[in-house]
Structure 1
């Protein structure tokens, strides 16, 4: 039975709709989900094989996407590593921005509130392992060090540099050591990262507890409102 003009119009409209949908490509939500799954697969690949032996093809296989799909988001393996750092590390530290400290909140309380939970998960979520990967393979692949320094290390240090003078003015710090040496506050974190898995894997350190002890040692002044 031949199609009526009305049915032909409906059929043509449906075909055009499908062509437009194909031309537009996946939705932004779908694109974001695909990118995130690729990054998670890359994290697993890097931690399993190391940076040198990891391949983008293997990442695609882990993510369940076509071999060429990761290249739509990351042109190189270094760019993919940067994506891992940005998604898995940088997002976890967004809360330590000084402007997010409540008006009457002490700097010590602010650091406890924002960093202790993150540091408590540093091993379980692979964040310490990413840092160890940079340490172990950074000599061969200096781009890894640059990415980690730019995206993670420097921003954290910059926040400590901003917070230390505030803590000193409030009377939380007994002297200006943290102002002169901001690395002191995060030194225990790196000691724990090195100890666990690299130096003494049989006796792992609780990195959050070590940081908290350093926080108490440094912030021994009497806070002023």
Structure 2
């Protein structure tokens, strides 16, 4: 079964929520897919957000090809179209404004998940982006953006202080026309519509992983 994309908010898979905690790649898994946070009463003062932790040295800019990252990955040149495209998608999906500070970015090309024999699903460009908003330090996270022949969209989001491609850190949101209201989720930047599900492992019953085996290693070391 092929995944579908809803470009006005985020990329959508035909999947249900999967709460299992399974390691894929390096990183430390969290306990469960987050639930929407209740609306906060507008009383008292709100503590300032914690400034994002920055790596002591610049992250690598290129990674070799491997069985789990076919073709390898690279960091686009700042100011290039490959640099600007995922940032525009993130802005459109989240509504974040102001300057964005990119901490790490990788781009790589791989097949659909699960792999398909259709030519237009064999070479999908993806981006991994870790960033925060300079004017709103509460907006900090890790994002996966996908670009297919028929369009591009935001596939999944993970908390800023996580690492690797680990379940259930990476959360996707399944479009639900009956629940148009956006909710905040602990650890995730912004607010999100739809039903949260485990992007790494896929949903209960369909078990479609968010990334194919040929690409899930492209996030190793992030």
Larger Cα Rg: Structure 1 or Structure 2? 1
On whether the aligned pair clears a TM of 0.5, the verdict is no
TM-score bracket, shorter-length normalisation: under 0.3
Higher helix share: 1
Under a length normalisation based on structure 2, what TM-score does the superposition of the two structures give?
0.26
Q: TM-score of the superposition, structure 1-length normalised? A: 0.25
Q: Point out which structure has higher relative CO (alpha carbons under 8 A, 6+ apart).
A: 2
